[in-house]
Structure 1
């Protein structure tokens, strides 16, 4: 498993926390962003998109265009810095303080495993998007999400899996706790931009999954779920308890 990079999305307004610098909030004595970067310490490249504060010397930073343009625009900005030899990229939210190196490795192995015919039941309810602020109409989002999930619900035998992501106990895909094949992610960005007049500003992460072969991964390790994201003060408190 070579040619592996990590893009960590650290933007977002954190409105449910009063607009604080959420990735900088400590869990277990370390900022959440630094905990995510530690989980991908073995990556050939680590790129943070968004405000970041002090980081290890080898970590590169950039900003999405326009600033505040959302996680898809941030993804495109991060990919622009990747080495041409990169083949796979971990796409991660910066507010995943319980993410571990073992959890990322499991996703990378799942991406490389042979494809089999494996239909997935559509998730119950609205898929959880860890980096996006939940400001859209819930009914419209749910209808759109379920339609997108049905389009990418089957990975035919012999096909190339483009994306491996965790699913929670309710079957919701954790789209910003995932590993992509880089060419597939670039193609997905291009397709989504084409449907939006050439812009990715404000585009939903779920839009990248339309027509994409997805391998859903259930967490098999011990301990708390690695995709647990912190959107509220209560979430941070729970993460603190788990990290002890």
Structure 2
């Protein structure tokens, strides 16, 4: 098999979570370390790792940038991160995924055949902050919009493949994020061995390979 092309990683780590008491989610501890550290480790093979968000601790080889306007949302964050991307492939990741693995990131890169590929979780939901993209296609899509909007709306115009990965038996799903106190408590209990991950649900139907989702809005 041919080697995968070099890639960059854009990690969205901005804002404070109102449902978590205004704390910065990426810096919360799960398994004794900040969640952001797990995401950075999962993207360790990237040519460049770019964290988008407010000032926060990052390793010296990581680029830290701020979206404009600050707190402007995922589209603004992706656009800011892309300014420092020099590779033809970029993975875009949420900064609150404590169980993200290098294998999942590699799996996305292996499946990148069109403009982009993203993970579909076990509820059938598209995870737009867990995907790999052609940098040119992502730049073009995000440059066309002005003002706040959703990534789903922005990326609905490009060729997106969907991938439903299997979580290894006994492992937490890599798409498990920490949006609420209950999410955070569950992640910490799993990491500490006090709670078994839920059994994966049967895979839901997935849209055809390059079909964009219908957005009724």
- The TM tier, using the shorter chain, reads 0.7 to 0.9
Cα offset, 1:169, TM superposition: 2.2
Post-superposition CA distance 1:48-67 (Å, at most 9, x none):
00025221111001101111
* 1:89 corresponding residue in structure 2: 90
Matches of 1:181 and 1:101, distance apart in 2:
19
4+ aligned runs moved over 3 Å, structure 1? none
On the 8 A contact 2:79/2:143 being kept in 1, the answer is: no
On the 8 A contact 1:14/1:231 being kept in 2, the answer is: yes
> Gaps spanning 5+ residues in structure 2: where?
193-217
Question: TM-score normalised to the size of structure 1?
Answer: 0.73
Residue aligned with 1:175, SS: strand
Matches of 2:132 and 2:186, distance apart in 1:
26
Question: TM-score normalised to the size of structure 2?
Answer: 0.82
Cα offset, 1:13, TM superposition: 3.0
Matches of 1:233 and 1:78, distance apart in 2:
28
* Corresponding pairs, count: 187
Matches of 1:94 and 1:173, distance apart in 2:
17
On the 8 A contact 2:91/2:133 being kept in 1, the answer is: yes
Matches within 5 A, 1:10-159: 10-83=13-86, 86-112=87-113
Higher helix proportion: 1
Matches of 1:102 and 1:12, distance apart in 2:
28
Matches of 1:106 and 1:242, distance apart in 2:
23
> Gaps spanning 5+ residues in structure 1: where?
113-160, 194-198
Do structure 1's residue 176 and structure 2's residue 177 form an aligned pair? no
Matches of 1:21 and 1:3, distance apart in 2:
30
Matches of 1:52 and 1:103, distance apart in 2:
27
On the 8 A contact 1:24/1:52 being kept in 2, the answer is: no
Cα offset, 1:242, TM superposition: 2.5
On the 8 A contact 1:9/1:49 being kept in 2, the answer is: yes
